[in-house]
Structure 1
Amino acid sequence: MARKFLYAIALLVVMVLAAALVLRFWSKELTRFAFVPRSAFEQLPALPAGFYDRADAWISRPGVKDDPAQYLPSGAARGAVGSAYVFFVHPTSYLARDHWNGPIEDMDARFRADLFVQSMASAFNGVGAVYVPRYRQAAFGAFLTDRPEAQRALKIAHGDVEQAFATFVRQIPADAPIVLAGHSQGALHLLTLIRDRVRGTPLERRIIAAYLIGWPVSPTRDLPAMGLPACDRPDRTGCVASWMSFAEPADPTMMLDAWRAQPTPDGGGKRTIEPMLCFNPLRGATGGNAPASANLGAMVPADDLKSGAIVARAVPARCDAGTGLLMLGDPPKMGPFVLPGNNYHVYDIPLFWADLRADVARREAAWLAATAKAKP
């Protein structure tokens, strides 16, 4: 009996080691197999005119009951609310492979989107009203393949975001300052939105800042295409901030592969390997290094993910000059959703929740001061 038990233990050890080897050498292939949609592509029509006039088309906006963007973690003070209007595009929450575009009514995707809005968009609720649209997002698997269906899915999703943004602009005061913010897929849609719908229009002068977080932004191609500079100092307005958080050792291959599959701003050529734009939220500026003592507070989630608490001095941050990644040093304990390669993608905002809150408030004050000074 003892010998059989030892054989069983040995077999389990071999199976665990074999699984570890499979994950180490074929993790990308397994991820693609698990998430890339297998169904035929559905060419969805545009949403009906006036769709975003409906309250249920928004996760967050003034008047929404139990608005997740209005969440305040333990240890954070609400204070007075500013006069800006925030348009936030949430990251990918549709993980199934039944469709290339997540149905707006999918309950699992809605649940995850609400959690993302609570942990990410809530950092912006101090500067003004927060609007977060529901949209037919491209499935997670669309970022793991170069099949043409992926770009078609992103085009449908972007059409929804553009429609939501047009409604947002129409509903807010004509001269109100605007904060654009998004994470991952949301940041990608905002990058395109700024390039196609904001640059060179009166809206451009109203932008306090654009926070394109969790998605690579090329300083040489994307910034010129958007017509906005990098947020290279704490008081600059009308600028772009972007970062991607990794602990060491970092392997950003999957993220960069997804980015290189996207068309360049001019629609021609391929993405080249270059350092990405790296905004250091602990410095309020691009580049540089800051110790953990500079961290005003990470929002560390509870085990059930339904709440969080502010923990000061949680992590340091260093912009790596060679890659543009925001390096965290040793892996911090934030929860179970760290992606392969020590990618803290899900925690890009929670790691610097209080710092981001302070950053956008500071830029709002700078924008208001400059606008008041420019008035005759």
Structure 2
Amino acid sequence: MAARRFLYVFAGLIVLAIAGLFAYRLFAPQLFRFAFVPSAPFVEQMPRQAAAYADPAMWLARPGLGNSDAAQWLPAGVSPRTADRAATFFIHPTSYLTRAQWNAPLDDRESQDRARLFVRSQASAFNHLGPVWAPKYRQAAFGAFLTDRPEAQRALDAAYADVAAAFDRFLQEAPADRPIILAAHSQGSLHLLRLLRDQVAGKPVAARIAAAYVVGWPVSLTTDVPRLGLPACTRADQPGCVLSWQSFAEPADPAMIRDVYEASTGFDGRPRKGTPMLCTNPLTGLPGGGAAPSANLGALIPNKDLSDATLEAGTIPARCDAGGFLLIGPPPASMDSPYVLPGNNFHVFDYTLFWSNIRADAARRTAAHAAAQPRGIEKLLRRLGGRR
């Protein structure tokens, strides 16, 4: 029943998003903004302290939630974890689509249902490593990304403040000797970038990061990565690094994303225009390059009536193009549906297309992180010694 609800909500969300994006292409941008940019005055959000996130009700996923933990969903045939090797902090993407407010209220059931959906389909890729922590936060409305009005930045700042408070609480409660996975998607990745810059770079916690998955948001190798405190991943078994990709089928038209990227400013204050985007191939864990369908260990594919999702291996390739976008070839026949955004943008599927590979990648980097620690090296040597 939970899987059925999960996928029906998913369908509803994408239909709404597609309607908006088609309106953008068919009508004037002003009409699109009118449909989504909040009309209400900005309401200052009272800052939350980390103590607020001591309340389990402030989380979509965390230890102790039992069956209501959204991140514990698994497709058929996948075994649950048997040991805790890492703690994951996951920031969900935009799920508040109305124009009633600049920041989503946490008692808005519709947006919370969508957020829970995303945690299930995306954050579940990390649940084999240990508990996943996914906070509720007063996310910026979808329309905040469609305007340069000052209210938009204030809404994003308020949303980030919640994320930062939740992260502080996560650090207080997650075991101090356990590696950390940071992961996010879309608006969540925008906040994760800021979290890396402000709360991780140059701080002791940086040494605990096994990997940071900044998915579905453009990241400049030149103006952003040097300020994140972690390098871009260059090896499949490299711990303590950043991965990012944005998925398109071919023929791809990423002009909408590229135009916004090139008009923006990087974390070092310089324009991003002309700088290369970070593109990690999730099938290989390497920067750039391509991989055949046989390298795909399993994509989450919904069935015909959207009542469940199953894993399908060996059907979807991936390659990074010269512009820094991840291309998956022609639209997969198994995903022939209206849920793909204009331009063959598979943004909503950035995690699900490569679910099993992300799972394997996170396990590999977590193991490498543990082995690089003094105690981990000692344990590895003892194991090797026992095999002689």
TM-score by length of 2: 0.86
The CA distance in 1 between the partners of 2:219 and 2:150, in whole Å, is 22
Preserved CA contact (<8 Å) 1:124 1:130 = yes
The CA distance in 2 between the partners of 1:50 and 1:258, in whole Å, is 37
The CA distance in 2 between the partners of 1:158 and 1:259, in whole Å, is 20
Give the letter for the 2:242 counterpart. V
Write the mapping of 1:1-376 to structure 2, written as runs, cut at 5 A: 24-26=25-27, 28-47=29-48, 50-65=51-66, 66-259=68-261, 263-266=265-268, 268-302=269-303, 305=306, 307-321=308-322, 323-332=323-332, 333-334=334-335, 335-371=337-373, 372=375
Secondary structure at 1:282's aligned position in 2? coil
The CA distance in 2 between the partners of 1:126 and 1:153, in whole Å, is 34
Further displaced range: 344-353 or 44-53: 44-53
Secondary structure at 1:94's aligned position in 2? coil
Give the letter for the 1:324 counterpart. G
Q: Greater CA radius of gyration, 1 or 2?
A: 1
Give 1:273 deviation, angstroms. 3.6
Q: CA 1:351 to 1:22, structure 2 compared with 1: closer, same or farther past 3 Å?
A: closer
Q: CA 1:363 to 1:269, structure 2 compared with 1: closer, same or farther past 3 Å?
A: closer
Q: CA 1:347 to 1:207, structure 2 compared with 1: closer, same or farther past 3 Å?
A: same
Q: CA 1:40 to 1:21, structure 2 compared with 1: closer, same or farther past 3 Å?
A: closer
Secondary structure at 1:367's aligned position in 2? helix
The CA distance in 2 between the partners of 1:356 and 1:21, in whole Å, is 31
Give 1:283 deviation, angstroms. 1.0
Give 1:80 deviation, angstroms. 2.7
Give the letter for the 2:287 counterpart. T
Q: CA 1:342 to 1:45, structure 2 compared with 1: closer, same or farther past 3 Å?
A: same
Preserved CA contact (<8 Å) 1:59 1:134 = yes
Q: CA 1:253 to 1:37, structure 2 compared with 1: closer, same or farther past 3 Å?
A: farther
Aligned to 1:5: none
Give the letter for the 1:225 counterpart. R
Preserved CA contact (<8 Å) 2:49 2:165 = no
Q: CA 1:373 to 1:341, structure 2 compared with 1: closer, same or farther past 3 Å?
A: same
The CA distance in 2 between the partners of 1:326 and 1:320, in whole Å, is 6
RMSD between superposed Cα atoms in Å: 2.2
Q: CA 1:21 to 1:48, structure 2 compared with 1: closer, same or farther past 3 Å?
A: closer
Give the letter for the 2:131 counterpart. A
Secondary structure at 1:168's aligned position in 2? helix
Could you report, residue by residue, the CA deviation over 1:23-56 in whole angstroms, capped at 9, with x for unpaired residues?
6443755433321112111111112562100010
Preserved CA contact (<8 Å) 1:76 1:310 = no
Further displaced range: 297-306 or 153-162: 297-306
The CA distance in 1 between the partners of 2:22 and 2:78, in whole Å, is 43
Give 1:336 deviation, angstroms. 3.1
Give the letter for the 2:181 counterpart. V
Give 1:175 deviation, angstroms. 2.5
TM-score by length of 1: 0.89
Secondary structure at 1:153's aligned position in 2? helix
Give the letter for the 1:94 counterpart. Y
The CA distance in 1 between the partners of 2:163 and 2:178, in whole Å, is 20
Equivalent residue pairs, number: 355
The CA distance in 1 between the partners of 2:213 and 2:227, in whole Å, is 16
Give 1:263 deviation, angstroms. 4.7
Give 1:254 deviation, angstroms. 2.8
Preserved CA contact (<8 Å) 1:314 1:351 = no
Give the letter for the 2:279 counterpart. C
Preserved CA contact (<8 Å) 1:60 1:130 = yes
Could you report, residue by residue, the CA deviation over 1:187-211 in whole angstroms, capped at 9, with x for unpaired residues?
1111110111111111011000000
Moved over 4 A (4+): 20-25, 27-30, 257-263, 303-306, 373-376
Give 1:252 deviation, angstroms. 1.8
Gapped regions of structure 1 (runs ≥ 5): 1-19
Gapped regions of structure 2 (runs ≥ 5): 1-20, 380-388
Preserved CA contact (<8 Å) 2:50 2:166 = no
Identity of aligned residues (%): 54
The CA distance in 2 between the partners of 1:49 and 1:342, in whole Å, is 40
The CA distance in 1 between the partners of 2:37 and 2:303, in whole Å, is 30
Preserved CA contact (<8 Å) 1:115 1:305 = no
Q: CA 1:304 to 1:93, structure 2 compared with 1: closer, same or farther past 3 Å?
A: farther
Preserved CA contact (<8 Å) 1:81 1:125 = no
Give 1:304 deviation, angstroms. 5.8
Secondary structure at 1:293's aligned position in 2? helix
The CA distance in 1 between the partners of 2:302 and 2:28, in whole Å, is 27
Preserved CA contact (<8 Å) 2:50 2:169 = no
